[in-house]
């Protein structure tokens, strides 16, 4: 067996290995973090400015997700708590500055964190208790914020908003992951499958059948992942559109995508929208305007054959058989509060 030699180099020339066949192969930053750009400046800015964080965990079977709120803590050395979060249930999540280095961020592992006062691995395996799942997924979402460049000094830095945001648009994050994201269906860092390249979308009741192809096959490969559902997994506001409404096509709100179910209905959580935002219906190529704040929820006057949707208890509801009314143009962006005030 031929020995391969790792060649760490400068940021301008990342590490690579020479394969047994002689070709050079680039090693990603999770394998050679010291050969890639440092996150120190990015992390220090978030730390110095005490950037806020709202991190939502995964949902355990038969349970509910936990929302951890807090911030970076502006610590000045490598031992103090740099990230401090707390859930409404009283759970605490902390990361020391020494446990949040560039290397750990690239590798998405390798250190410890403090969950409910106990020091635990950043990735606990097996993930056989709810507490392990809460701690693991909260840490994962923080690492997604760093590697995809979503965190900003101004905040609010809500992890449930990540899938609807444009990755790397702040100029932060992993350049390696950005290149792979923009040019392939491959992972650019260990957690990229969480929201950048979701290759399989299925409900809990569906059966997934996997066919293993040979190394020379590319069967079923689809370069376009923009036709899959991509919607928030939790949130304060929800919506629902009844069956037989699939003529509306894919519904998009910013970077979020909602597709019809097998009965032609739609539904799910809405993203946090502090400004009037287009809710676009691909079928008629039309849009309405919505925002999820106290001074207005929707602007959709006379657009649908079923009338204006109703809004109760933070749920926006259409009936069944919804179609865009023929001859109706998309409304102008509102300048006043909506006809459906957020009660």
- pTM for this entry: 0.71
Alpha helices in 218-336 (DSSP H): none
Cα-only R_g, the chain: 23
Q: 3-state DSSP call for residue 220? A: coil
Listed residue (239, 339, 241) closest to 297, CA to CA:
339
Listed residue (282, 329, 139, 163) closest to 230, CA to CA:
163
Q: Quick one: which H or E segment has residue 50?
A: none
Do 149 and 132 meet the contact criterion of CB atoms below 8 Å apart? no
Q: 3-state DSSP call for residue 145? A: helix
Do 243 and 264 meet the contact criterion of CB atoms below 8 Å apart? yes
Listed residue (289, 243, 284) closest to 266, CA to CA:
243
Do 53 and 69 meet the contact criterion of CB atoms below 8 Å apart? yes
- Report d(CA 204, CA 266) in Å as an integer: 17
- Report d(CA 26, CA 224) in Å as an integer: 25
Listed residue (173, 178, 177) closest to 190, CA to CA:
177
- Report d(CA 273, CA 161) in Å as an integer: 10
Residue 62 in tokens? 């038969």
Do 159 and 166 meet the contact criterion of CB atoms below 8 Å apart? no
Q: Helix/strand/coil (H, E, C) string of 9-65? A: CCCCCCCEEECCCCCEEECCCCCCHHHCCCCHHHHHHHHHCCCEEEEECCCCCCCCC
Listed residue (317, 297, 315) closest to 307, CA to CA:
317
How would you write the pLDDT of the chain (343 residues) with one tens digit per residue?
344 455 555 555 567 777 777 788 888 898 888 888 999 999 999 999 999 999 999 988 888 899 999 999 999 877 899 999 999 999 999 999 999 999 999 999 999 999 999 999 999 999 899 999 999 999 999 999 999 999 999 989 999 888 888 899 899 999 999 988 888 777 889 998 887 766 666 666 677 777 777 766 655 555 555 667 778 877 778 899 999 999 999 999 988 889 999 999 999 888 888 788 899 999 999 999 988 876 557 776 689 998 888 888 888 899 999 999 999 999 988 876 554 543 3
Residue 276 has a pLDDT of 86
- Report d(CA 92, CA 90) in Å as an integer: 6
């Amino acid at each position: 067996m031929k020995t391969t030699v790792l060649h760490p180099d400068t940021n301008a020339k990342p590490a690579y290995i020479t394969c047994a066949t002689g070709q050079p192969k680039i090693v990603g930053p999770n394998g050679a973090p010291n050969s890639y750009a440092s996150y120190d400046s990015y992390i220090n800015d978030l730390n110095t400015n005490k950037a806020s964080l709202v991190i939502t965990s995964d949902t355990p079977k038969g349970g509910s997700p936990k929302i951890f709120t807090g911030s970076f803590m502006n610590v000045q050395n490598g031992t103090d708590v740099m990230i401090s979060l707390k859930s409404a249930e009283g759970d605490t999540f902390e990361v020391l500055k020494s446990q949040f280095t560039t290397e750990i961020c690239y590798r998405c592992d390798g250190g410890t964190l403090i969950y409910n006062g106990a020091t635990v691995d950043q990735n606990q395996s097996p993930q056989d208790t709810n507490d392990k799942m809460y701690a693991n997924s909260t840490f994962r979402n923080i690492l997604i914020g760093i590697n995809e460049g979503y965190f900003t000094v101004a905040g609010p830095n809500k992890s449930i908003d990540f899938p609807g945001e444009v990755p790397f648009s702040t100029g932060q994050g992993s350049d390696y992951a950005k290149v792979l994201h923009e040019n392939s269906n491959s992972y650019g860092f260990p957690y990229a499958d969480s929201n950048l390249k979701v290759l399989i979308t299925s409900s809990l009741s569906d059966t997934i059948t996997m066919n293993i192809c040979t190394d020379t096959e590319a069967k079923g490969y689809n370069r376009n992942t923009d036709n899959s559902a991509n919607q928030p997994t939790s949130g304060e506001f929800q919506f629902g559109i009844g069956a037989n409404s699939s003529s509306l096509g894919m519904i998009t709100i910013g970077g979020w995508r909602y597709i019809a179910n097998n009965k032609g209905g739609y539904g799910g959580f809405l993203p946090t929208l502090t400004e009037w935002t287009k809710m676009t219906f691909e079928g008629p190529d039309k849009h309405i305007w919505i925002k999820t704040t106290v001074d207005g929820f929707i602007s959709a006057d006379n657009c649908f054959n079923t009338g204006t949707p109703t809004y109760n208890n933070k749920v926006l509801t259409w009936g069944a058989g919804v179609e865009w009314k023929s001859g109706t143009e998309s409304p102008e962006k509102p300048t006043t509060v909506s006809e459906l005030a957020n009660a």
